[in-house]
Structure 1
């Protein structure tokens, strides 16, 4: 399999043709042979090539899918960057993990499981938002990863699509698994107290937000600036890309001349998408578009099927400090009225709050977890500014007004009420039945999935390099 195409100091660079031939041979059940020997029976057998000298090679084949040495190294580096630790030898565990993923993806294709572009886009944006919170700003994230936000979205698309397909396949396998109260009691009855699950401190938080008003003269300033940009490009004075690099408030695209690569409608703000997908002439510039991020002008680059490539310039209206102070003062007055009993916090949230996500829930914040939607948050799951204030409150207490930055980058002002706090504790059947039920349910699901993978391996062609045959694997049957 390891054809000598170039040698530098005894090391080998695998040629693409050689690698493709090797994959085809393995998938067809052929033994891996040196490429030269497969074509010339008189060729002399080459000396083994030192492992450290191989740039890339197929190390496993699962069905007709190859796993490359570079795939393993990429997962290892990604895990290191995210602080992941491996419970064993990563050179053995990572190829096995990749192989299991291929089993799920293959079954998902057989079962016609699909994911939508909107699901992919939402997941990618959630991950990027999480990274932004960790780094402190979009600019710092781009500098750390050496990628623009747009490039991150593109590079994450296929990987996240596969993640969703695997997730849906696993969910389908366990969708009929049920747990009864008797199952929960029987499971925990014999466990010592220190083996019971520990439930971290959880809180329920209600919020009232006021969005500082953007002054009309500031909106007019932004629109006049965008109209001026349109006129300069139309007159041939400059290019759209140049102005985007100089003036756009979207750092993820500004450095690329405002360009968004081919993207589906579901990945864009609805107002932005409505205009972008109606453009037909690359020489013309759109009307001014207002989105949740600010104001844009858009230029078509190309269309390909149900995707569009455009450039845009984003200008965000600036919120004046006196408007922020006014919103904070309004919230301070609202908090005083609630404390004096004029109306409840829940009534204030329903009729006064500008936050559409919590207004219809009487201000109660919602947390989407792997077990579904809940009103309970662990402190680490709250927005940073909210968590910082919650940490100072007693149950039932209303905070002083404070500012926070929304996911779209806009400034908002808020007051919060700590509705409840449950301190960290060992789970009890009376207080934490759902937590304990989830533990039992998770274990039963894990067993079903484990048994499915083990059975799937029995009926799947698997071939691996000799050095992987003595590894300790989680699943039996890899070594045929």
Structure 2
């Protein structure tokens, strides 16, 4: 980085630090993108955030402003396209990030020291970041939506690569699974329902605020926000929850108890805007008794033994699974590729649920596991058996065996080319002014300075 720029930035940061002691923060507009400013404090905030997680950015005072400028191009397009995001997912992602930070750094106080913010400020920063990321993801998706990759393009890409330059495909596995959810006893259901009825009574009588009870007792990520889920459409929640949430219209009354696959809820109406509603909820998850877990494990071990004795195939046994995602797919686990929007059944080990990966590591292809306990994607305890259907060891990509992987690579390459051209075109249409002290950089996109 040029010495003049380093000196200028160092002076500005020192001035800011001195002024901060007098509660008079000095800041500076370093870029203008359209009518959106990029401030020195924006750059510093992003640099500090990267340092928190051990990410070293070379030439941060050149790289970060350009990243922020590109972000503003996408966010401007998102505003033009009236793109909206699921606020409940943003809140959940931010809460998870805060929890990870507390685990990584040992305490809330350590996070506040590293982030130079209170936990509340840090959470708001994460919400803004995830909200912007989701809007940008949707804009990028819209830009590349019509992109199609033909087999001829994949073959051309494969044939033009030297053998030693072909992608290295990590070890992949195909896994079938059968799950059994331990039953919740009637006594436990009654305990949960009685507790929720008491919460509802306290709120309806004015004795306690719903949001306060949610903060203390709800077993959902929204608890930190007083149970508030943000404005959401009917299809953003499971039907049982949506049906009740959208039937409410009085913020002074609490809903009846709602049972979903996540547990038991009570809901409070906040507001409605068009076809979206904002509610609070309290979620309580029933505790599973150990003898019920034992029953599920024994049931699955019996099924596994019948499969090993060839009395039953895994595929036929899978119709008994409680896992609706795999039940009608002969038990085969799959995930949606976010880039190509296709279902994939080949997992790298780190893509599997941790409990499943630990068992798979000990197995050979064709083997059926013993029954084991695991936590599913909804945070529930379930029991499972798995079959390692196939294992493909790490190897250089092959046109026939790894066609989908190569297609994904070509798709990603073409997508980035299309995105890059979009940014270049957007630069031409957008007013950009850069403070003279911030211009002497080797930008990824050189057309910022006109």
Contact 2:215–2:227 at 8 Å: present in 1 too? no
Structure whose residues are more often helix by fraction = 2
Aligned residue pair count: 427
After TM superposition, give the deviation of residue 303 of structure 1 in Å: 1.7
- SS at 2:414 equivalent: helix
Q: Distance in 2 between matches of 1:343 and 1:149?
A: 54
2:395 corresponding residue in structure 1: 425
- Cα gap change, 1:242 to 1:80, in 2 (>3 Å): closer
Shift of 1:442: 2.8
Unaligned runs of at least 5 residues, structure 2? 1-13
Shift of 1:322: 0.2
Q: 2:316 aligns with which of 347, 353, 357?
A: 347
In structure 2, C-alpha distance between the alignment counterparts of 1:290 and 1:167, rounded to whole Å: 33
Of residues 147-156 and 200-209 in structure 1, the stretch that sits farther from structure 2 once superposed is 147-156
SS at match of 1:358: helix
User: So what's the TM-score if we normalise by structure 1?
Assistant: 0.76
Equivalences for residues 11-410 of structure 1 within 5 A: 11-12=18-19, 55-86=26-57, 88-110=58-80, 112=81, 114-115=83-84, 117=86, 121=88, 125=92, 159-232=129-202, 234=204, 240=210, 243-244=213-214, 248-250=217-219, 252=221, 254=223, 258-260=226-228, 262-266=230-234, 268-300=237-269, 302-306=270-274, 308=277, 310-350=279-319, 352-369=320-337, 370-371=339-340, 372-410=342-380
Q: Which one is further off, 167-176 or 324-333? A: 167-176
CA distance in structure 1 between the partners assigned to 2:170 and 2:96 by the alignment = 24
Distance 1:478 1:338 in 2: 64
Cα drift, residue 157 of structure 1? 5.5
Deviation at 1:426, TM superposition (A): 1.2
Q: Give the secondary structure class of the aligned counterpart of 1:220.
A: helix
Post-superposition offset of 1:394: 0.5
- Using the TM superposition, name which of 290-299 and 394-403 deviates more: 290-299
CA gap 1:122/1:280 in 2 versus in 1, 3 angstroms = closer
Q: Structure 1, residues 391-416: CA drift from partner, whole Å, max 9, x if none?
A: 11110101111111123222100000
Query: 1:465 aligns to what?
Result: 435
Aligned to 1:476: 446
Are 2:88 and 2:232, in contact at CA under 8 Å, matched by a contact in 1?
no
- CA drift of 1:309 comes to 5.2
The Cα RMSD (Å) is: 3.9
Alpha-carbon distance change, 227 to 193 in structure 1, aligned in 2, over 3 angstroms:
same
Question: 1:285·1:297 contact (CA, 8 Å) conserved in 2?
Answer: yes
Query: Counterpart of 1:414 in 2: which secondary structure?
Result: strand
> C-alpha displacement at 1:441, in angstroms?
3.5
Distance 1:439 1:290, change over 3 A: closer
Q: CA deviation at 1:334?
A: 0.6
Write the distance in 2 (CA, Å) between the matches of 1:152 and 1:278.
Answer: 35
| Unaligned segments of structure 1, at least 5 residues | 1-6, 14-52
Q: How far apart are residue 262 of structure 1 and its match? A: 4.1
Alignment correspondent of 2:8: none
CA distance in 1, matches of 2:426, 2:393: 44
- Alignment check: 8 A CA contact 1:150 1:252 kept: no
TM-score when normalising by structure 2: 0.81
Q: Which residue of 1 aligns with 2:426?
A: 456
Cα distance in 1 for residues equivalent to 2:318 and 2:109: 39
